[in-house]
Amino acid sequence: MTDPTISAVIAVFAGFVLAGFLAVPYIAASYRRRGELGLWRVLLVFGFLVYAMSLWTYTLLPIPETTTCAGHVAGHLQLRPFQFVADIRREQTGTGLRAFLRNPAVQQTVFNVALFVPLGMFVRHLFRRGFLTTVAVGFAVSLFIECTQLTGVWFLFECPYRLADVDDLLTNTLGAAVGFGLAPLLRLLPGNEPSAPPGTPRPVTARRRLLGMAVDVVSVILLGTTVGIVTTLLVGEPSTVVTALIGTFLPALLLLFVIPVAGNGASFGQRVVLLRPTRPDGGKPSLWRMIVRFLTGSGGYFTLLTLASVVNGGFEPLANLLFFASGILAIRPEGHQGLSGLVAGLRMADVRAFDDREVPSLVSGKDG
């Protein structure tokens, strides 16, 4: 595996996987710290995850079929600072700028600097760290990479198969410092600053409603999958009925009904995006309204999927129909109640619009 394209593909794929696991905590944290999500900031955070995975693939790949222990440490460790200067002189052929830029040692040095420029930009812009901290992070990450290479991926391999180079440590750290200086360029991206203070209510929009619904669906699937795996490991492969109950219905019941009844009426996903349903007078939904909402919303979708697994597969088309109807009615009408809200007679509000008496000031429109 020597093609750099393969490493890039692996980095992007791993970035997607990591983003999937971190999506719900990130969305929740973003709404509480910034008051909103922000599309461009999401893309920037995803870019950071892909970049982190690219550093990982660069450190590990290409993995050789075999490693040789000849010259073990001495052959895989370069401790002379600024050896790259001598390497540039040795590799130089011809004169002029073009010949200089074609020098492999020059290209390697520039690459080592450029590789850590994004790290410096991300540390300053996303994590709001100063110059010394940014440089220290760059140094620490580079040192970890070099130690990983020197130890054969922390002794997973019998011998190291990559060169640990002190010059890489120096040029990587320089790259992080350069990235710190270039980080203000990221401020040119829209949506860097929240549209309002975090505690200010935001409009209830279709995008926000759909995001809350997506968090509900993903959370039920992840919880059900986790419970199913643990159950299989502890007691063996469960029956179809038990699998459907513990993997679909019970997680949905917990996240979409028990949590709302015990709390302010909001499902898990709605709580993540700081939304809650209310009666027309602004109060917490009654129990019968929450039962209706559960059965005609995401709860009904997972209930039908459970029945499709246990009783008859004919319930699956009904589940899909309910799923799409709920999504469409969360976009239109303007109140974004969704099918369950319309049937149960509920409205949707931002939790920050409630005062101490829990009477909401309902807002709708566009958010940041």
Same domain, 231 and 292: yes
Range 259-267 contact pairs with CB under 8 angstroms and sequence separation of 24 or more? 260/285, 260/290, 260/293, 260/294, 261/287, 261/290, 264/351, 264/358, 265/290, 266/351, 267/212, 267/216, 267/298
The model's pTM:
0.77
Same domain, 104 and 195: yes
307: Cβ–Cβ under 8 A, 6 or more apart, which residues? 315
Same domain, 256 and 193: no
Phi, psi of 348 (to 5 degrees): -115, 135
Same domain, 215 and 342: yes
Same domain, 261 and 309: yes
| Domain of 50, in residue numbers | 1-63
How high is the pLDDT of residue 286? 94
Same domain, 179 and 210: no
Question: Pairing relation of β-strands 164-165 and 275-278?
Answer: unpaired
* Beta strand spans in 261-324 (E): 275-278
Q: Is residue 263 part of a domain?
A: yes
Q: What is the mean pLDDT of each run of 10 residues along the chain (368 residues)?
A: 65 82 90 88 90 84 62 63 87 83 89 94 94 97 90 78 86 96 91 84 92 95 92 89 93 96 94 94 92 96 94 88 94 89 94 63 41
Residue whose C-alpha is closest to residue 54's, from 101, 6, 93? 6
Distance CA 204, CA 38 (A): 14
Same domain, 19 and 97: no
In b/e form, how buried is each residue of 234-247, taking b as 16+ CB within 10 angstroms?
eeeeeeeeebbbbb
Q: Is residue 362 part of a domain?
A: no
Same domain, 91 and 189: yes
How high is the pLDDT of residue 355? 59
Same domain, 181 and 277: no
CA dihedral 176, 181, 182, 187 (to 10 degrees): 120
Same domain, 232 and 303: yes
How high is the pLDDT of residue 361? 41
How high is the pLDDT of residue 215? 95
Distance CA 360, CA 282 (A): 6
Distance CA 210, CA 69 (A): 56
Same domain, 173 and 247: no
Same domain, 17 and 127: no
Q: Which residues pair with 78 in a beta bridge?
A: 165
